[in-house]
């Protein structure tokens, strides 16, 4: 929902102009961290990002408006990793993800996102 976040998300209606109304994470980074840290049993959900992307330079979207499946967003900043990643994923995760932790964004228009496996 525009300006509010994802219905059902823990940050829905968190606060006005919250920079992380939705978060994105790259599938390629997930595979890279699994390989680098030898993790075979962790799901991408461990990173607490809302949407997994593939083939997109997420850092390149910071400060720009973009659209996915008819929903408009504005990239606000990198979704920086924190100490919690060390426990949620594996030791070394916080350092590995610096500069590639995902994208935080504002939601500019209402709409629905659906799983697209194509």
- pLDDT single digits (tens) 38-84: 998 888 988 989 999 999 999 999 999 999 999 999 999 999 998 98
Residue 107: CB atoms within 10 Å = 19
Residues 31 and 10: their CA atoms lie apart, in Å, by: 26
Asked if residue 118 has pLDDT above 70, the reply is no
Cα radius of gyration (the chain): 14
pTM of the model: 0.91
Q: Are 28 and 84 in contact (CB under 8 A)?
A: no
CATH topology of domain 22-107: M1 Pyruvate Kinase; Domain 3 (2.40.33)
Residues in Cβ contact with 37 at an 8 Å cutoff, skipping those fewer than 6 apart: 89, 90, 91, 92, 93, 96
């Amino acid at each position: 929902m525009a300006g509010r976040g994802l219905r059902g998300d823990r940050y829905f209606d968190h606060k006005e102009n919250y920079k992380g109304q939705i978060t994105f994470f790259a599938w390629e980074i997930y595979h890279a961290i699994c390989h680098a840290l030898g993790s075979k049993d962790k799901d991408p959900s461990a990173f607490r990002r809302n949407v997994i992307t593939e083939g997109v330079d997420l850092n390149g979207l910071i400060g720009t408006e973009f659209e996915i499946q008819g929903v408009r967003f504005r990239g606000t900043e990198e979704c920086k990793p924190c100490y919690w990643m060390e426990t949620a994923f594996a030791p070394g995760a916080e350092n590995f993800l610096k500069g590639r932790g995902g994208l935080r964004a504002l939601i500019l228009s209402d709409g629905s996102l659906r799983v697209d496996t194509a």
